[in-house]
Amino acid sequence: MQAIKLFLLINALACYGLLVQAESHASTVPNVILIMTDDQGYGDIGAHGNPWLQTPEMDRLFHQGVRLEDFHVDPTCSPSRGALMSGKYASRVGVWLTYGSRHHVAADELSMADIFQQNGYATAMFGKWHLGDNYPYRPMDRGFETSLIHGGGMVGETPDFWDNDYYDDVYLRNGKPERVAGYCTDVWFDEAIAFVKKSQDKPFFLYVAPNAPHGPLFVPEAYAKPYKEQGVPHARSLFFGMISSIDENMGRLRRALMEEGLWENTILIFMNDNGTAQGASFKAGNGRSSNSGWVVDGYNAGMRGKKGSVFEGGHRAACFLHWPQGRVVGGRGYTGLTAHIDLLPTLVDLCELRLNKPIDFDGISLKPFLMEADVPAISRTILVHHQGRFGSRIEDGLLIYEKNVAVMRDRWRLVGKQLFDLDHDPEQRRDVAAAYPDLVRSLRAEYEAWWREISVADDRYYPFWIDPDKQHTVLISSQNLMGASVAYNHQHVRAGTPIERSFAMIDVKRPGRYRITVRRWPRELDLSMDALLEPLPLVPERHYLEDFLCTMESRALPVCKAALSVGSFSDEQPVVTGDREVVFEVELAAGEQRIESVLTLEDGSQTAAYFMYIEPTK
């Protein structure tokens, strides 16, 4: 009996020791919170000199943390997010557009969340994902155990729930639609705070990605009013108001971390995803508006270019890091060239994460520069390019050689064939390429080597996988199509914007019989194909009524036929008044295949269907 008691005592003590060890590990391993805003530029922060904008919480991180003073992202959102999540150049992993299925991180790449999850972290994200709306590209497929997101790249795009307008919207919680009360930015931070409060038993990685201040410029009037009273133009006041709302919510999150005793051992990172969208107005030398022009009113921290430009203002970004327990504090800056591709290898180093397999990151760990103030900056070369082609046919969405490229090394910028010295010309007005031919050749060689590596990414598609065990219903909206220019958002669909013959790619992982439904309107509307939809109800206290998305007129489409082709299957069915959809039953073979649907109108004109649903018949 004594032996049994001794055995039980030893086991109890061992279990207690393991429990204490686990609790100790959870308390010493840092939590990580990454906040990335959408379309806020480097100049849209008070601490960066903006004379109108009040951002006390962002300024607090600027003054109390460590800032990366020459930090860069891509000129648009999906590429920045793809690079952030992978630690690699976005084009290398399949992301170079924001639509047309060229914004999917390759399924065989590990994401930031995958790595944290493999290391015992609880993982969550709230807000804008914009790296794929179907399996295997959703947050829940990429290592996030918990997620609440809107569809597409902004609230109101075609993958998003119909007529979401930033208020009381329907979002996707772990892939399932759920109506959530409140203004979108408040919702994302409400979720973040709730996650923090319940994640006490193990370390967590939390990614908060507000869709604000991306347009349409919808924000409660109270946030915009202080800027209107300063004489800031109406649209910019709304834009600034959206940033103020984010800043206020960052304060709520900070206080929650303090109340839970988590502030000291949480790595908090704040950054933006591309250049400003509304913080200034820009004109080229000929006086015309230009994304790559110079500021004529507003503020852009002295830089040329905005979102979508490969001049400095299009991709230089804020990045503030704060971790008191890890000595990442002090209000100091690192002046060396850095980028979004560096954050994942840096977090792997700071958090001592184990990699299950070697990863050839394009970025580097910045740990030495974050931990010590006197580590000298290193010389390196980083590249950005902008492959956007809005308004043009997308075709297969292939990468385009020499399209909108900037090669950066220290103070130098090779933009196309022009060379700029930022130390003496921060506005990039004087091309000095002729004076430095050897440097131009060196930077050009860097681009050629980089292009040879990343251009192989467009040798393949990044299709949606058809596997009902993972996703029962796959929605392919017009934004996912390749071929012609796309109907990008709900207002384009409402206006019946015609889409020339276009297609998407699917990869059938479970062959069998499927029901493919073709629709003019999404299922949640339950409207006939020929219905005329009333305009989105808007009020000036909450919406920006002059946004072009709000002024497009609705149009009824008298659809008379619907056709579908996928793999070896091809069929056409008549559409009569009152039909809401056309359903095709198809035997799908295994493997990658092209899917295309066409709506024919009574006048003989055609458009691709705006919505296709794929689901098993059983």
The predicted pLDDT at position 27 comes to 61
The predicted pLDDT at position 545 comes to 87
pLDDT digits (tens, 9 = 90+) for 191-202: 999 999 999 899
List CB contacts of 222: < 8 A, sequence separation 6 or more.
241
The predicted pLDDT at position 547 comes to 83
pTM: 0.95
Taking 50 as the pLDDT cut, the residues of the chain under it are: 1, 3-25
Question: Burial, 554: exposed, middle or buried (Cβ in 10 Å; 0-12, 13-18, 19+)?
Answer: middle
The predicted pLDDT at position 146 comes to 98
**β-pair type (504-508, 591-601):** antiparallel
The residue assigned the tokens 């900070």 is 254
The predicted pLDDT at position 125 comes to 98
Q: Which domains are present in the chain?
A: 18-385 (3.40.720.10), 464-616 (2.60.120)
Report yes or no: 599 and 579 within 8 Å, Cβ to Cβ.
Answer: no
In order, the DSSP letters of 252-316 are HHHHHHHHTT-STTEEEEEEESSS-SSSEEEE-TTS-B-TTSEEEEE--TT-S--TT-SSHHHHE
The predicted pLDDT at position 485 comes to 80
The predicted pLDDT at position 6 comes to 45
pLDDT digits (tens, 9 = 90+) for 491-526: 999 999 999 989 999 999 999 999 999 999 999 999
pLDDT digits (tens, 9 = 90+) for 114-139: 999 999 999 999 999 999 999 999 99
Q: How is residue 115 written in tokens?
A: 């790595």
Nearest CA-CA partner of 194 in 268, 127, 115, 124: 124
